[in-house]
C-alpha cells in the first residue's frame, strides 16, 4: 500500500525561520549580551561608590553638628548605613574623629574625620572642617 502524494505547488507556503537562521541569530544575540556584561559590573561598582559617598556625607554632617554643639569626642565611632551610631557588629562605616584647636587662633577648631566603609579600608574618605564652636 502506498501513500498518496500531493503536489507541492498546491500546498500553501509556510513562513518561519530555518534552524540555521535561528542558530545564527541566537549566536549574534549572545555575543551582543556578552559584550554588555562588563558594563553591568562597572555600573554596579559606580552605584556602590556613590552610595558610600552619600552615606559618608550624611555621617560627616551629623558629626560636624555634634562638634559644633561640643558633644563630639575624639575617637572612633561605628555607624550603620543610615548614618546612625550603632554597635560595632552592625556597623557599615567607622568614623574616626580628631578635634584640635587651630594653631594661632584659639577661637577656631579643626575637625578631621576619616570615614571608612566596612570591608573596604582602601576607600576611606577624609574630611577636614574648620569651625567656631557654639558658646
C-alpha cell at 51: 552610595
Whose cell is 551629623? That residue is 62
Question: Which pTM value belongs to this model?
Answer: 0.70
pLDDT digits (tens, 9 = 90+) for 12-57: 566 788 899 999 999 999 999 999 999 999 999 999 989 989 999 9
* pLDDT of 61 over the 60 cut: yes
Helix (H) or strand (E) holding 42: helix 19-69
Amino acid at each position: 500500500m502506498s501513500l498518496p502524494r500531493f503536489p507541492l505547488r498546491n500546498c500553501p507556503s509556510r513562513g518561519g525561520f530555518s534552524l540555521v537562521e535561528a542558530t545564527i541569530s541566537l549566536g549574534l544575540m549572545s555575543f551582543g549580551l556578552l559584550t554588555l556584561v562588563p558594563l553591568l559590573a562597572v555600573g554596579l561598582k559606580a552605584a556602590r561608590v556613590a552610595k558610600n559617598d552619600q552615606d559618608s556625607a550624611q555621617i560627616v554632617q551629623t558629626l560636624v553638628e555634634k562638634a559644633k554643639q561640643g558633644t563630639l569626642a575624639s575617637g572612633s565611632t561605628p555607624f550603620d548605613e543610615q548614618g546612625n551610631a550603632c554597635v560595632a557588629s552592625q556597623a557599615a562605616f567607622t568614623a574616626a574623629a580628631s578635634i584640635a584647636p587651630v594653631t594661632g587662633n584659639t577661637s577656631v577648631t579643626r575637625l578631621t574625620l576619616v570615614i571608612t566603609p566596612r570591608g573596604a579600608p582602601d576607600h576611606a574618605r577624609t574630611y577636614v572642617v574648620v569651625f567656631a564652636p557654639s558658646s
